[in-house]
Each structure stands twice: as structure tokens, then as C-alpha cells.
């Protein structure tokens, strides 16, 4: 057998070994501590879902950064949204779960304190596409939607930009209910306590999955009674609860029901700040999708009764843009319908 030519051996020895391709996203995130901004106080489903996602998503992001939850409540989610959109670093180290009602708020220009454009956020994915419920406590005199059209019912809510104010007002203005909206509770947990204490009859908004996560005993012990649900179709567990989209209204009001029903599909949307490089946004979207398939995440979600019905970041982005850019005449009429009349609101619950 002939020995290799010395010239060939020398050439091979001189040839550099091709280095592994660098991953700029992994290099950026390695050793980083990300923040997950939570729009509510501790407790409640926004907080529970945000912390659940934060505990698992980091290991699916290239570079495996840690993620620290930070509660930033107030203004029905407007304070945290303004922070994320205007103040927070625009580098992909910030995540947040945006208040479900804020895309509508922007589309209809309901609250001047919202100073950001939801279309500029980088949408990562929607954790839960679930219907919104208005519920009353089991001791309430009113126990059906039809009864709520005849009897005043005290409904707890949060800030003026919150969907917990918008939806009860919409029911009053379009469906003819007589909900008295009690403003100023800091979050859903406070409204729940107010229901338990008898300060209010019910809570303006929360999802079925939200109750499963934060207050499963409300469901198992039948402590709450859903009066109406909002979405494109009924929750499988609530076949007897009226769907807003199916309510009998004037023909000209049907587009309003359709607009609000589509808006609810926004659910529990997760975003990062505007201005994040595209490769990091793509990595965060993939990490979100991968997290929801992670056996450890699935097991903990099941343990917490946290139902997950995801929507991709691309679909979520298109949905939010469609709401904001809907025909002006529809948005104008929805805007009027979402504004509570002065006679329908109180700053605090009356003593009983």
C-alpha cells in the first residue's frame, strides 16, 4: 500500500476546520434575565397563566435565559401596556400578557391614557382562545339573562379601559340588560372577594378557563352562575348559557355582535415590545409554540386546571390588526355601545 503523498498531508493539515455556524439569537439570550410583565396583581388567571408560561418558556428560547415575573397592575392593563410599548427595552428581553380589551380600546379610541399602538407590538402567541363570561354569585336574585333585563344587578369591574367595563355596558346598550357597573377594583381577585362578601352580585368578565385555573371551586361547587358567554361558539361545558352572537337584536346591530365576538378570540395574548429584531421575534414565537407542546408544561397546566387553547403569533397579529382596521362605521357604532351611561356606573358598591 502506497504511503500518502507528503504534499497532500501538508495540504490537509493546513486546511482549517470549518467552525460551527454562530447563533446570534442564542448568543444574545445566553445569561440574560428576561422579565414577564403581568398586568394584574398576584392571583387571578392573567397572573396564573403568565407565571405558568414564564416557568417553562425560557428553556425553549435559544440561550436558555431565565424569566422573572413582575406584577404591574392598574388601569385595566393600560399601565403595563404603556410601559411595554414605550419604556421597556426593545430588545426581546420583555414579555407580557396584554389585556384582552386593549386592541378594542385602541380601535375605538376609548381611553386617551392608552398611548401605544397595538399593531407595533410583536405578538408571540395567544395562550387561551376562550369565551368571556358574565357571572353572578349563587345568592344573587338574578339568575338568568332575561331576569337581568328586568332587575338591576351590581357587577364588579376594574378600570375604564378594561373589558370588564366594556362588555357589561355593551349588554346594557345592545341587549337591554340593567347591569350597574361598579368601577375601581384593582383586579379580578378583588371582584371575586366582593362577590363572596355580597358587595356586588357578579363579575363583569372572566373566561371559563380562567375560573378553572384560579377558582376551580366556583365551578365544582356551583358558586357562580354564568348569565351570558361571548365568543364565536359556545363553550363545550356551557351548552345552556346563552351565546351573545345568537341573541335576537335589530338587524343593524348584528354586525356589532359579530365584531365583539371576534374580538374575544384575542383571549390571553402574549407579546414583546416594538422594535425587536425579526430573528428574535421568530425565536420567541417558536419558543412559545414549543413550550405548549412541552410535557412538563402540559403536566403543570393540567395540575392547575389551566386549559390551553393556543393561537399562533401570526394569526394573533392578523386578528388584532383586523379589529383595529375594521370599517369605520362598525367601529363607530361599537364605540357607542361600549360606553357605559353615567346612570349605569358607580365608583364604589353601595352598602347593603
How high is the mean pLDDT of the chain? 91
Kindly state the average pLDDT of the residues 86-111. Answer: 93
Given this model, what pLDDT does residue 6 score?
47
How many other C-beta atoms lie within 10 A of the C-beta of residue 139? 12
Question: How confident is residue 225, by pLDDT bands cut at 50, 70 and 90?
Answer: very high
* Whole-structure pTM value: 0.76
Q: List pLDDT tens digits, range 327-339.
A: 999 999 999 999 8
Pick the CATH number of 132-264+333-346 from 2.40.50.1070, 1.10.645.10, 3.40.190.10, 3.40.50.1240: 3.40.190.10
**In the predicted structure, residue 22 carries a pLDDT above the cut 90:** no
Question: How confident is residue 126, by pLDDT bands cut at 50, 70 and 90?
Answer: very high
Residue with the larger pLDDT of the pair 52 and 210: 52
**In the predicted structure, residue 67 carries a pLDDT above the cut 60:** yes
Q: List pLDDT tens digits, range 231-264.
A: 999 999 999 999 999 999 999 999 999 999 999 8
**In the predicted structure, residue 15 carries a pLDDT above the cut 60:** no
Given this model, what pLDDT does residue 44 score?
80
Q: List pLDDT tens digits, range 165-174.
A: 889 999 999 9
Task: State the span(s) of the chain assigned CATH 3.40.190.150.
Answer: 32-129+266-327
Task: State the span(s) of the chain assigned CATH 3.40.190.10.
Answer: 132-264+333-346
Cβ partners under 8 Å of residue 338, min gap 6: 104, 108, 110, 166, 167, 169, 170, 173
Superfamily of domain 32-129+266-327 in the CATH hierarchy: Bordetella uptake gene, domain 1 (3.40.190.150)
Residue 182 to residue 162: CA distance in whole angstroms: 12
**In the predicted structure, residue 158 carries a pLDDT above the cut 90:** no
Cell 416594538, located at residue: 274
Whether the CB-CB separation of 217 and 223 falls below 8 Å is answered with yes
Given this model, what pLDDT does residue 21 score?
59
Cβ partners under 8 Å of residue 152, min gap 6: 178, 179, 180
Cβ partners under 8 Å of residue 33, min gap 6: 65, 66, 67, 68, 93
**In the predicted structure, residue 9 carries a pLDDT above the cut 90:** no
Given this model, what pLDDT does residue 11 score?
44
Q: List pLDDT tens digits, range 79-89.
A: 999 999 999 99
Question: How confident is residue 161, by pLDDT bands cut at 50, 70 and 90?
Answer: low
Residue with the larger pLDDT of the pair 101 and 114: 114
Question: How confident is residue 8, by pLDDT bands cut at 50, 70 and 90?
Answer: very low
**In the predicted structure, residue 303 carries a pLDDT above the cut 60:** yes
Whether the CB-CB separation of 105 and 241 falls below 8 Å is answered with no
Amino acid at each position: 500500500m502506497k504511503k500518502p503523498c507528503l504534499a497532500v498531508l501538508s495540504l490537509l493539515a493546513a486546511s482549517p476546520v470549518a467552525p460551527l455556524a454562530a447563533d446570534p439569537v442564542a448568543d444574545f439570550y445566553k445569561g440574560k434575565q428576561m422579565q414577564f410583565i403581568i398586568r394584574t396583581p398576584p392571583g387571578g388567571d392573567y397572573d396564573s397563566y403568565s407565571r405558568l408560561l414564564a416557568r417553562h418558556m425560557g428553556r425553549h428560547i435559544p440561550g436558555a435565559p431565565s424569566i422573572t415575573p413582575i406584577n404591574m397592575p392598574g388601569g385595566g392593563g393600560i399601565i403595563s401596556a404603556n410601559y411595554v410599548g414605550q419604556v421597556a427595552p426593545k430588545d426581546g428581553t420583555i414579555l407580557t400578557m396584554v389585556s384582552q380589551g386593549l386592541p378594542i380600546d385602541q380601535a375605538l379610541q376609548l381611553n386617551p391614557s392608552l398611548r401605544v399602538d397595538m399593531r407595533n407590538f410583536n405578538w408571540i402567541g395567544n395562550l387561551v382562545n376562550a369565551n368571556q363570561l358574565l357571572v353572578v354569585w349563587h345568592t344573587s336574585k338574578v339568575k338568568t339573562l332575561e331576569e337581568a333585563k328586568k332587575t338591576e344587578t351590581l357587577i364588579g369591574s376594574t378600570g375604564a379601559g378594561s373589558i370588564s367595563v366594556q362588555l357589561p355596558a355593551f349588554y346594557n346598550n345592545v341587549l337591554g340588560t340593567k347591569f350597574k357597573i361598579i368601577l375601581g377594583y384593582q383586579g379580578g381577585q378583588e371582584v371575586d372577594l366582593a362577590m363572596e362578601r355580597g358587595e356586588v352580585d357578579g363579575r363583569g368578565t372572566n373566561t371559563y378557563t380562567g375560573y378553572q385555573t384560579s377558582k376551580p371551586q366556583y365551578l365544582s361547587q356551583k358558586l357562580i352562575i354564568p348569565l351570558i358567554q361571548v365568543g364565536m361558539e359556545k363553550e363545550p361545558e356551557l351548552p345552556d348559557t346563552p351565546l351573545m352572537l345568537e341573541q335576537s337584536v335589530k338587524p343593524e346591530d348584528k354586525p356589532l355582535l359579530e365584531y365583539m365576538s371576534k374580538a374575544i378570540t384575542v383571549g390571553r395574548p402574549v407579546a414583546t415590545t416594538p422594535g425587536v429584531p425579526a430573528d428574535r421575534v421568530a425565536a420567541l414565537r417558536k419558543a412559545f409554540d414549543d413550550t405548549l407542546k412541552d410535557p412538563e408544561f402540559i403536566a403543570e397546566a393540567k395540575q392547575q386546571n389551566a386549559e390551553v387553547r393556543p393561537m399562533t403569533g401570526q394569526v394573533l397579529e392578523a386578528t388584532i390588526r383586523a379589529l383595529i382596521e375594521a370599517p369605520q362605521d362598525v367601529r363607530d357604532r361599537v364605540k357607542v355601545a361600549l360606553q357605559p351611561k353615567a346612570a349605569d356606573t358607580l365608583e364604589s358598591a353601595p352598602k347593603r
